[in-house]
């Protein structure tokens, strides 16, 4: 009887531990699409977050067509953005924007 009680307690503990980690994986949603609040992207965050600053010598972006190797990534990104509440996505290499 003690062995069964011990196994029941261990199982209950395991279920409680796993339930918390499973719940933490749920993304916030907007209507039916996964989404994150704008504050998540625009908030400066804690002091240890990486912060980018403007370049002292900014360069004008150059827009170009996707190379054959990039076309697959561009089409997948367009499909994802068409079906989500995503704001923007850019494929950038140096000052080149695809």
Domain boundaries, the chain: 2-97
Residue 92 has pLDDT above 80, yes or no: yes
Residue 64: predicted pLDDT: 92
In degrees and rounded to multiples of 5, residue 35 shows phi and psi of -155, 160
Question: How confident is the model at residue 20, as a pLDDT?
Answer: 67
**Residue 84 · residue 34 · CB < 8 Å:** yes
Token pair for 64: 């170009």
| Model pLDDT for residues 26-56, shown as the tens digit of each residue | 667 777 776 777 777 778 778 888 778 888 9
CA–CA distance, 49 with 61 (Å, rounded to integer): 26
Q: For residue 33, how far is the Cα from the chain centroid? A: 13
Report H helices in 25-95.
Answer: 38-42, 68-82
Confidence of residue 94 (pLDDT cuts 50, 70, 90): confident
Rounded distance, CA 97 to CA 66, Å? Answer: 9
Kindly state the helix (H) or strand (E) to which residue 33 belongs, with its residue range.
Answer: strand 33-34
**Is the confidence at residue 22, as pLDDT, over 70?**
no
Record the pTM: 0.42
Which band of pLDDT confidence, cut at 50, 70 and 90, is reported for residue 65? very high
């Amino acid at each position: 009887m003690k062995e069964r009680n011990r196994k029941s307690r261990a199982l209950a503990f395991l279920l409680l531990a796993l339930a918390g980690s499973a719940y933490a994986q749920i993304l916030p949603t907007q209507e039916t699409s996964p989404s994150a609040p704008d504050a998540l992207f625009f908030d400066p965050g804690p002091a240890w977050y990486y912060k980018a600053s403007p370049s002292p010598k900014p360069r004008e972006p150059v827009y170009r067509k996707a190379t054959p190797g990039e076309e697959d990534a561009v089409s997948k990104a367009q499909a994802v953005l068409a079906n989500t509440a995503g704001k923007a996505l850019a494929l950038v290499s140096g000052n080149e924007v695809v």
